[in-house]
């Protein structure tokens, strides 16, 4: 009987699918020291979310028993892909399951920023009727720049266009023909995107290349005016990965007024320190990494990753194998 460790939680329906396939599923968080001591060597597969980090040392301690590492979600920055590939362990994820949920949260943050929804709620609760102070701007007619143009960015583009936004993108890994299908203008450089757009939304992975991609220099390039030369401010949303936005630089831009709003669902260090000056700024609002935290997404994530694990354990590489090209 195949044994599967689920360390960070999983939908009941997905667990049932694994059990119906004849697998023993152990749902339990495993402490770091136990992982380093080889706790996963007793399992054929491990399914993690973001809480469990699968390092080179843990992978080496888990062989030869562990045959599959599965990420119930999209990002795999908590898994050492190079080490897994060297040990011939496939790493699979569920890239499609949370797309719609992240799209909707991104758009929610955009709307919240432009219409001062978090600020309006706070002032109302404090007893103030700040109607005159909370004049916002519309999405209609503004330029939205998407850093990365994968499934989530494409979904955001569709919604933004429905609001009447002019959508631009930068993605060095996609041909321009992909953006053309969505009537999106593809830029050859990220600097060009910042110079053109007053609204920026981030949809790329965190890599050495993208770490602090959004820094003080690029924020300063944002124009602050719409195509009709009306002041609309500059706005940044990140529901992708923490660390892409230089939070110190963004806070400075909020303080000097060049950045009108910053909305983050992800942070460089999570959980974010409650005493962080960024959290105290009136033009910042955030959520605690809840992009995929919907009932629908969690169901899809669980079922998709269960199917991928079963395929991998059968000896076939699933379509969603992240390190496919590095496996022999």
Where do the domains of the chain lie, and which CATH numbers do they carry?
Answer: 3-97+295-326 (3.40.50.720), 99-286 (3.40.50.720)
pLDDT of residue 258: 98
Sign of the CA dihedral 102, 221, 226, 115?
A: positive
- Residue 126 burial by Cβ neighbours in a 10 Å radius (0-12, 13-18, 19+): exposed
Asked if 217 is an active-site residue, the reply is no
- Give the pLDDT confidence of 20-54 residue by residue, as tens digits: 999 999 999 999 999 999 999 999 999 999 889 99
Spatial separation of the C-alpha atoms in residues 202 and 311, rounded to whole Å: 32
Residue 69 has pLDDT above 80, yes or no: yes
The active-site residue, picked from 241, 283, 285, 300, is 241
Asked if 218 is an active-site residue, the reply is no
Angle at CA 278, nearest 5°, toward 222 and 226?
A: 20
Mean pLDDT to the nearest integer, 267-280: 95
Asked if 289 is an active-site residue, the reply is yes
pLDDT of residue 64: 94
The active-site residue, picked from 31, 270, 296, 319, is 270
- Give the pLDDT confidence of 224-238 residue by residue, as tens digits: 999 999 999 999 999
Residue 79 has pLDDT above 90, yes or no: yes
Spatial separation of the C-alpha atoms in residues 318 and 308, rounded to whole Å: 6
> pTM of the entire structure?
0.89
Closest to 269 measured CA to CA, from 246, 235, 290: 246
Three-state DSSP class for 300?
helix
pLDDT of residue 160: 98
The active-site residue, picked from 49, 235, 289, 300, is 289
């Amino acid at each position: 009987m195949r044994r599967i460790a689920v360390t960070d939680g999983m939908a009941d329906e997905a667990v049932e699918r694994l059990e119906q396939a004849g697998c023993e599923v152990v749902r339990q968080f495993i402490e770091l020291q136990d992982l380093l001591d080889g706790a996963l060597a007793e399992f054929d597969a491990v399914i993690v979310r973001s809480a469990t980090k699968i390092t080179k040392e843990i992978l080496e301690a888990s062989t030869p028993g562990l045959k599959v590492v599965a990420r119930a979600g999209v990002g795999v920055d908590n898994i050492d892909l190079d080490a897994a590939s060297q040990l011939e362990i496939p790493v699979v994820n569920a890239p499609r399951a949370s797309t719609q949920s992240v799209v909707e949260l991104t758009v929610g943050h955009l709307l919240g920023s432009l219409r001062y929804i978090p600020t309006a709620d706070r002032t109302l609760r404090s007893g103030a009727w700040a109607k005159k102070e909370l004049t916002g701007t519309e999405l209609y007619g503004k330029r939205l720049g998407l850093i990365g143009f994968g499934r989530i960015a494409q979904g955001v583009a569709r919604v933004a266009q429905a609001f009447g936004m002019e959508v631009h993108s930068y993605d060095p890994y996609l041909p321009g023909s992909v953006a053309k299908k969505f009537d999106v203008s593809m830029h050859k450089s990220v600097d060009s995107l910042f110079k053109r757009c007053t609204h920026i939304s981030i949809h790329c992975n965190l890599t050495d290349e993208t770490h602090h991609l959004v820094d003080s220099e690029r924020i300063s390039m944002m124009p602050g005016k719409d195509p009709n030369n009306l002041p609309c401010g500059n706005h940044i949303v990140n529901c992708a990965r923490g660390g892409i936005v230089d939070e110190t630089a963004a806070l400075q831009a909020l303080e000097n007024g060049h950045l009108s709003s910053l909305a983050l669902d992800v942070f460089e260090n999570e959980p974010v320190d409650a005493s962080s000056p960024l959290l105290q700024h009136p033009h910042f609002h955030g959520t605690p990494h809840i992009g995929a935290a919907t009932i629908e997404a969690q169901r899809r994530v669980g079922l998709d990753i269960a199917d991928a694990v079963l395929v991998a354990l059968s000896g076939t590489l699933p379509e969603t194998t992240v390190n496919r090209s590095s496996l022999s």
